[in-house]
Structure 1
Amino acid sequence: MFDHRAADGYSANMFISSWADIARAETPSMLPSFQRSILNPRCPTTYTSSIDDVFALFEPPTKPDLDQNNNDGDNALINRVYYIEGEQLNKIQLLASENGSRRSKLESFTSFLWKIVALSMDDGGDRNKLCNVALAVDGRSRLSEGDGEEKEKLMASHFGNVLSMPSGSKISQDLKEMSLSNIATEVHEFLQTATTKDHFLDLIDWVEERRSKPLVAIAFASKETSVMISSGTRFHIMDKMDFGWGKVVFGSCHVPSGREDCYVMTLPSPTNNNDWIVYMHLPMKHMTYIESHASQMFKPLTSDYLKI
């Protein structure tokens, strides 16, 4: 397990990959850098108000209200792992790009999942409630832009947390009525706020002034339905990892059952370069709806698919 106050998924992957290399008596392919000074704040600190749209001060939750609608356990969070065929990813990318702007597969997938969760909420009677979606954005490559090869290498090997978490918020009924391409435009616009070097420089300064206080992504600062989506498709979890008895057949992340936040992670497929593996930690009611209405997209991961 790891704590996001100390590390992110990129760092965890670096650690596990190095562990596998050392187990085979090999030098790790990337030695971690703990040089905190490369993330020093500016003097004086300066940032725009846009950071307030991404993070907020964390306030410990009060005693939770008893959920009268949860007698059947539909709100209990469960873990599932699916695979998505490359053909399906291409289809939703085409639908998400109908406005004339080509959207990435991650933007398209995020748009599809945002809408399917909203449809599940609407189906359950929550049609006028907010539905939030957040995306994890790695700042390593952004922070090294224009600063030379040495800074680029230092940032690439930096062990820590270099994430921003921009998000969007819409009423579930509105999402139900929007086309996938319009939702993809919303995703693209909120994502763009956190994909620049200036954003991460501002974020460093903003966090520096609040180092003694716990912070939280704005999407999770309320009790509204919120889903965090993280992309691990570039992590070497399966294709290169070998602890000495052969390459790993399958690897995934796992959110403990005690965690009450909704989390989704995309991973590379070990059997088909065009497919994705998708790990999901969502309420039972959303998972049931997804399996009933999007089974052509989300297919249960099986030993047959993994060829084991």
Structure 2
Amino acid sequence: MGSSGTFSVNVKKRDIITAELPVQNHWLPMSNLDLLLPSLDFGVFFCYKNSLPLDESLNIVKKSLAEALATFYPLSGEIVRNKLGEPELHCNNRGVDFIHAYADMELKNIDLYHPDESVEGKLVPVKTQGVLAVQVTELSCGGLVIGCTSDHRVADAHSINAFLTAWAELAQSKPISNLPSFRRSMLNPRRPPITNTFYNTLYLPLSSLPPPRLSTPTDPLISRIYYMEAKDITHLQTTSSFNGNPKRSKLVSFTAFLWKIMAECEDGLNTCKMGVVVDGREKLENISFDKLSLSNSMQNYFGNVLSIPYGEANSSELKERSLGLVAEMVHDFVRPAMTEEHFLGLIDWVELNRPETAMVKVYAKMDENDGEAIVVSSGQRFPVDGIDFGWGKPHFGSYHFPWGGQTGYVMPMPSTRKNGDWIVYMHLLEKHLDLVETKGRNVFKPLTPAYLNL
């Protein structure tokens, strides 16, 4: 790929897209689970090999975005602070920043394996205001890239997936298949909230963090995109379930494999932390208010419904253990979060600590001897195949989440090949990426245009 991945993007026009229908000016509180998220943006982008005539494509995208914002109106608002200093959504139809850009580059020459150079700030916009920013980049080959950046405090990946799907449906003049629910009472704390010190092991108030060590240099994290073939994913699952071990999910087996790789760069004295993002919607389905109304189902709830349990282990122990035993460790620290009570208790824990801001403990380095950490988030429900605006399905799509800090982030997603392969976005320390490309080179393969048939 080399220099073929180097290109510049020129902005041709900037607009603000507001909801097509009037939106009543009102305030929408954050749920207790939203309050666990820091001020953090994440991106997503889709690559289309060919499109309709450019003006027609742009008109479709902009018109359907305005229609989608009428239903997903919080994305057209902005975040402000209330008198307690907590963030709230001002649903004022401020609008979405919309950028039309051009890159003198063919899709087949974009180096997607190195997204820091090809995607960051080029194909995925930098959001400066509001909740959502959208960019449409036309390419010299006639292709298009549609990139979005959204505020994580407003929506998790599940919610953004629902928005993207609805946006594409409206572009094809179809009705929205799953209407969102913004009913915050679905995540209200219990009265009185129930105290459970277990959550102190997973989350901590920001006030308990040690002061930053200004003299300590921080190594930047680097993004890469790989693909995994279905046979290698299945092999990991089979290996982790070998010799009498219970059959583990593909995600648990994948996480265990990554954890063992990560341990290889430690000296045996350090610990390695591995977290897994758990979506609580299915766990909380019993609290839906109206069983006859799909829009009041937790599956349609728009916001954040996440918890991040994690495990910590000595690196030498991880290296010595079989993949099956490490998969058992992953299963054991994830299992407590797979219940309704876990999420109800987490909502209560936030309530008991408000207005103190809290964060996920796996992100925190409490002292200089703390080991490195990675968080794995499953993107298996990423609807890449459904984001068709009327000129065909994407040839590629991925999340883009260089979230800063020193905690690594990994998201496996389905491949557009629809053959069981995975696309894997990684944002890791360089020493961990080096191990991925040596110890894991038979599993993690650099994404190439040849793989995507571009």
Quote the Cα distance in structure 1 between the aligned partners of 2:375 and 2:404.
16
The superposition leaves residues 196-244 of structure 1 with CA deviations (integer Å, 9 ceiling, x where unpaired) of 01111111111122232222112112253110100011121x2111123
Aligned to 1:231: 378
| Structure 2, gaps ≥5 residues long | 1-148
| Structure 1, gaps ≥5 residues long | none
The superposition leaves residues 51-86 of structure 1 with CA deviations (integer Å, 9 ceiling, x where unpaired) of 22222212465144334xx8xxxx431110111111
Task: Report if aligned partners of 2:194, 2:345 keep a CA contact under 8 Å in 1.
Answer: yes
Q: Is the partner of 1:285 in helix, strand or coil?
A: helix
Write the mapping of 1:1-308 to structure 2, written as runs, cut at 5 A. 1-59=149-207, 62-67=212-217, 75-98=219-242, 99-119=244-264, 121-122=265-266, 126-145=267-286, 149-150=291-292, 154-222=297-365, 224-236=371-383, 238-256=384-402, 258-308=404-454
Quote the Cα distance in structure 2 between the aligned partners of 1:86 and 1:34.
37
Task: Report if aligned partners of 1:57, 1:213 keep a CA contact under 8 Å in 2.
Answer: yes
TM-score by length of structure 1 reads: 0.90
Q: Is the partner of 1:141 in helix, strand or coil?
A: coil
Opposite residue 65 of structure 1, the aligned amino acid is S
- Alignment CA distance shift 1:12-1:65 (3 Å): farther
* Shift >4 Å, 4+ stretches: 150-153
Task: Report if aligned partners of 2:186, 2:287 keep a CA contact under 8 Å in 1.
Answer: no
Q: Is the partner of 1:140 in helix, strand or coil?
A: coil
Larger relative contact order, structure 1 or 2 (CA cutoff 8 Å, min sep 6): 1
Task: Report if aligned partners of 1:84, 1:278 keep a CA contact under 8 Å in 2.
Answer: yes
Quote the Cα distance in structure 1 between the aligned partners of 2:162 and 2:356.
28
TM-score by length of structure 2 reads: 0.62
Deviation at residue 258 of structure 1 after TM alignment: 4.4
Q: Is the partner of 2:313 in helix, strand or coil?
A: strand
The superposition leaves residues 171-206 of structure 1 with CA deviations (integer Å, 9 ceiling, x where unpaired) of 111111111111111100111010001111111111
Aligned to 2:38: none
Task: Report if aligned partners of 2:180, 2:302 keep a CA contact under 8 Å in 1.
Answer: yes
Quote the Cα distance in structure 2 between the aligned partners of 1:13 and 1:52.
31
Larger Rg: 2
Task: Report if aligned partners of 2:205, 2:356 keep a CA contact under 8 Å in 1.
Answer: yes
RMSD of aligned alpha carbons: 2.0
Opposite residue 286 of structure 2, the aligned amino acid is E
Deviation at residue 25 of structure 1 after TM alignment: 3.3
Aligned to 2:132: none
- Alignment CA distance shift 1:161-1:133 (3 Å): same
Q: Is the partner of 1:273 in helix, strand or coil?
A: coil
Quote the Cα distance in structure 2 between the aligned partners of 1:280 and 1:65.
28
- Alignment CA distance shift 1:112-1:249 (3 Å): same
**Structure that is richer in strand per residue:** 2
